[in-house]
Chain A
């Protein structure tokens, strides 16, 4: 279980997270929603140890990762898979090498085993035979799928997805959601998904948490969130314009 306790983070004078608390149960899909620029990526970066909080802490299975550095932090990260907002594929490498990279460098598997696993990973995301292409040569949707394949190829226990579908067409959105759901059923990883796809994302979520003004405004199963009386949540999931605080 990932436990976030009273996380506070500011950049200069801008306070992004204000004593945010959240629990992510093991083996389930937790979706974080909230408006753009609200600090969802910042929250995610605290969970993977790329940012450190001003106050508060993050516990992964009881280990306080916000207190860890270097080797000790890397030991936790070896259990992680991360799909970054822009994919973050290495553009100097082909798609095949991108997926092979963590196997080669992180797990040090033999070449034959790597080739086999990369082919399987590409097939899983519906990109058989595309391994030789470079990230710059494929479409945005394909890049996202390669990024998902790369994150999952090491069979991580915990996977973070930062807006895996933003900017894709509705068909691809559904394809990727089903891909996540399908892979989740197979590997049973703990998933934390940041998403704007409302209402589609409710179909794959076990828990939905709404981030608003640096805190979790509401958390619960999708049905409860959709029926929430909370004004902030209702406005957000119905996409009503917010006149009170235009940014």
Chain B
């Protein structure tokens, strides 16, 4: 279909307009995708097997990396915070300082980033490969809704596993801080844990909890969406995987700020 060429002065407007429409269009699709997934979550039949499989995929297989990064994060925190506190002679507060940083901020954020790198990317790649090899089309023509089989279980599993992974991250992190503070630098065990009990309250824990829940939804939503709407061929899958990890990571940090300011 022949179109009349635009006057040169109008071309920038055309470009901006086209770009804006494309952005709104993809935001719309992103939202619709979530609505469809939600509809598949709340209407029967519930795919228990797929859900358990996704918990294994997102949660259990991320366990090792969570244990490793959690321990070292706690150890780094223990060392750095100790070196700061000791200048003011208040190293007794090492326990609560480590625990609060982990529970309110670092636990949810770092655990989410780690699970994104480990499982989110794999999720996008797996669904993307199912798309380009027509496995998703095969589900569709069997009159089976791919949202119900692939997307809904993943988002639900994210909802469940991210808080669990965060809790594990927090616990091993506090233990890492204990290793450095108590075993290495000689703080007393009673001080480390005792002060922690005094200063950490349920509110802090709930802050971390709600953050991790929202990260779980955001990450699985982004990663399944990117896999679902993958481009052509292996290159398309590679690009979608990168985009999924980058977008998830950015959204985790953005959401962290907003959740942090709401849930003080």
Chain B residue, CB-CB nearest to A79: B143
The interface residues of chain B lying within 8 Å CB-to-CB of A82 are: 138, 141
Interface residues of A in 90-141 (CB under 8 A from B): 90-91, 101-102, 105-106
State whether A77 touches B133 (Cβ < 8 A). no
Provide the bound-state CA to CA distance between A88 and B130, in Å: 8
Chain A residue, CB-CB nearest to B149: A105
Provide the bound-state CA to CA distance between A90 and B137, in Å: 11
Interface residues of B in 218-263 (CB under 8 A from A): none
The interface residues of chain A lying within 8 Å CB-to-CB of B143 are: 74-75, 77-78, 106
Provide the bound-state CA to CA distance between A106 and B130, in Å: 19
State whether A102 touches B134 (Cβ < 8 A). no
State whether the Cβ of A80 lies closer than 8 Å to any Cβ in chain B. yes
Contact of A105 among B133, B134, B142 (CB under 8 A): B142
Chain B residue, CB-CB nearest to A45: B137
State whether the Cβ of B35 lies closer than 8 Å to any Cβ in chain A. no
Interface residues of B in 133-153 (CB under 8 A from A): 133-135, 137-138, 140-144
The interface residues of chain B lying within 8 Å CB-to-CB of A50 are: 137, 140-141
State whether the Cβ of A48 lies closer than 8 Å to any Cβ in chain B. yes
The interface residues of chain A lying within 8 Å CB-to-CB of B137 are: 45, 50, 84, 88
State whether the Cβ of A26 lies closer than 8 Å to any Cβ in chain B. no
The interface residues of chain B lying within 8 Å CB-to-CB of A77 are: 140-143
Chain A residue, CB-CB nearest to B47: A105
The interface residues of chain A lying within 8 Å CB-to-CB of B142 are: 77, 101-102, 105-106
Interface residues of B in 116-137 (CB under 8 A from A): 129-130, 133-135, 137
State whether the Cβ of A85 lies closer than 8 Å to any Cβ in chain B. yes
State whether A90 touches B140 (Cβ < 8 A). no
Provide the bound-state CA to CA distance between A49 and B135, in Å: 15
Provide the bound-state CA to CA distance between A48 and B135, in Å: 15
State whether the Cβ of A170 lies closer than 8 Å to any Cβ in chain B. no
The tally of CB-CB contacts under 8 A between chains A and B is 43
The interface residues of chain A lying within 8 Å CB-to-CB of B133 are: 86, 88, 91
Provide the bound-state CA to CA distance between A75 and B135, in Å: 20
Provide the bound-state CA to CA distance between A105 and B146, in Å: 12
State whether B138 touches A90 (Cβ < 8 A). yes
State whether A86 touches B134 (Cβ < 8 A). yes
The interface residues of chain B lying within 8 Å CB-to-CB of A91 are: 129, 133, 135
State whether A88 touches B144 (Cβ < 8 A). no
Chain A residue, CB-CB nearest to B139: A90
The interface residues of chain B lying within 8 Å CB-to-CB of A101 are: 142
The interface residues of chain B lying within 8 Å CB-to-CB of A84 are: 134, 137-138
B127 to chain A, nearest CB (A): 11
The interface residues of chain B lying within 8 Å CB-to-CB of A80 are: 141
Provide the bound-state CA to CA distance between A85 and B135, in Å: 11
Provide the bound-state CA to CA distance between A90 and B171, in Å: 39
Provide the bound-state CA to CA distance between A203 and B105, in Å: 70
Interface residues of A in 17-52 (CB under 8 A from B): 45, 48-50
Provide the bound-state CA to CA distance between A105 and B134, in Å: 18
B154 to chain A, nearest CB (A): 13
Give per-residue flags for B1-33: 1 if the beta carbon is below 8 A from chain A beta carbons, else 0: 100000000000000000000000000000000
Provide the bound-state CA to CA distance between A180 and B136, in Å: 24
Provide the bound-state CA to CA distance between A78 and B142, in Å: 6
The interface residues of chain A lying within 8 Å CB-to-CB of B130 are: 90
Chain A residue, CB-CB nearest to B1: A13
Give per-residue flags for A52-81: 1 if the beta carbon is below 8 A from chain B beta carbons, else 0: 000000000000000000000011011010
Provide the bound-state CA to CA distance between A88 and B133, in Å: 6
The interface residues of chain A lying within 8 Å CB-to-CB of B135 are: 88-91
Chain A residue, CB-CB nearest to B148: A105
Provide the bound-state CA to CA distance between A84 and B142, in Å: 12
Provide the bound-state CA to CA distance between A74 and B148, in Å: 14
The interface residues of chain B lying within 8 Å CB-to-CB of A90 are: 130, 135, 138
Chain B residue, CB-CB nearest to A108: B45
Provide the bound-state CA to CA distance between A86 and B130, in Å: 12
Q: Which residues of A contact B (CB under 8 A)?
A: 13, 45, 48-50, 74-75, 77-78, 80, 82, 84-86, 88-91, 101-102, 105-106
Nearest 6 pairs of A and B residues by beta carbon: A74-B143, A88-B134, A88-B138, A77-B143, A84-B134, A82-B141
20 A–B pairs (Cβ distance < 8 Å), ordered by A:
A49-B141, A50-B140, A74-B143, A77-B141, A77-B143, A78-B143, A84-B137, A88-B134, A88-B137, A90-B130, A90-B135, A90-B138, A91-B129, A91-B133, A91-B135, A102-B142, A105-B144, A106-B142, A106-B143, A106-B144
Extra contacts besides A82-B141, A89-B135 (12): CB < 8 Å: A45-B137, A50-B141, A75-B143, A78-B143, A82-B138, A84-B134, A84-B137, A88-B135, A88-B137, A88-B138, A90-B138, A91-B129
